Structure 1
């Protein structure tokens, strides 16, 4: 199949044409799309992973056009609106202490952005939030991206007659991902194609984040391809079907070898983060580690990591606010797209 050919939808044709909203996790290598019904009770109706060709992977405007075209041509449900999570490679994040006598938060956030970017601050779209830390301290969190890029992505969906209702971004997206994991703080880890984002989340709010952590799952798959002489698709099937964790029964030596460096890198970054959080005094301690993204689908990664850390490690559960009725089985690959789709209220 040509890489330019749109994949077929993963949900069967629905004669009732249930109206839905789309949650889109754009990603750097592929888009994850989840359609959730507008009316209560909320249902996840379809899910798909759309792999970009090489030119599209490097251009978020083309990515939005590709996704909009798929939704228009292949979805069996009318899409009332789209909420889109931008790739972490296109987002910048900064957290800094907030003075006790700080003025209005909006003005403080604007001033901080100008301090960081200078004249370029006028060319970005930004969001901010405040969290409390121990000792009465407060922390200002800032996220920003190019206004031209954000408007261009929204415009592509609008041109497909699908209103882009909201743009969200990692690490803030991970606050939504943790919503179905139960009470208490969680360390949420989004294992992407070549980078990871690690965030401490409590009550849906990100208290601490490390974006763009170098963890290259793609390199591990490349290694597996070379070792076994497999196609890319076959390598992914083996990695997710047989597992990359050394504690998993029946895992081939090839998969062990291919994913060993990636697993050790993940363990190092999680240990490093937990050590920092122990001393940071953020007012919350994680009770578990939740994995999402493509790397979380490597079977055995949770058991392997949990056996080496003091916390349980598991894949992000499906959203608690909707039943999963898509033909495509739930996977942590869809965690972000499902979270933003089911968090949306009716248009």
Structure 2
């Protein structure tokens, strides 16, 4: 509710009800994406409730200190830039107020530096088990509620706290933000292992997200990612290796590959069609991480003698030969086998 939250002290909204107002839900839950600053306030309140401490203390102890973000704080620390408004029709400046936003602080009251944000970008790319592991970060980079048609056509979606964009054929994640007097943007390309941070101490002007995305593209094209040196796995599970190679879903050929990061990759050999990576569940099965098979269970079905009959992926049967008559193909295989037409 009014007044303009970014330019008023937090003392005007001491309680959550003062932030959320009488109609906090603008859309049915889960139906579409709509950015919500009060939603971040609610998250801050939830952190305080679960941890029994102010959200700033929890953020410092559980995120900022483990990652070494020593210059990221909820209050400005000298030396710091002041925030300015630039007159749109004259070369004149107006200092912007700096407010303690109180309950609304989780929605944007963080002061930081390019160095700290670069370190944070490295965390978003690699993960840190003291804060969040790589698997949780993959989930953050996955779109959640559906976006509006205009967002989809612009290649924009939203994950768990991360903006997801596609620009010039490149998948980008990160976030932009602003408070009166300041603009900030962090953009990361996981595939290129390149991130860009853009900060400006003005209320409006540079499109920081676009500038950051352009910087990522320039660096990625001028300095392509150096491939990691190949190294054999420290240990090899023979029961897993025997599953690697070519499989058929009906007559569609697929390749199953085990990667150094412990994941399984299943993709069509034609290069087009349904593909996914799978994580091991520790019991000889794997769960899909993305695409058509996200959340689906992949398992090897074995015969009484221990040999592999087929792969079962969400009820889909993958066999070593097209419609292998030695496997359990739903509907059965014609006993006369493959034939020509005379």
TM-score by length of 1: 0.25
Structure having the higher Rg: 2
Q: Which has the larger helix fraction?
A: 1
Identify the structure with bigger relative contact order (alpha carbons < 8 Å, sequence gap 6+). Answer: 1
Q: Which has the larger strand fraction?
A: 1
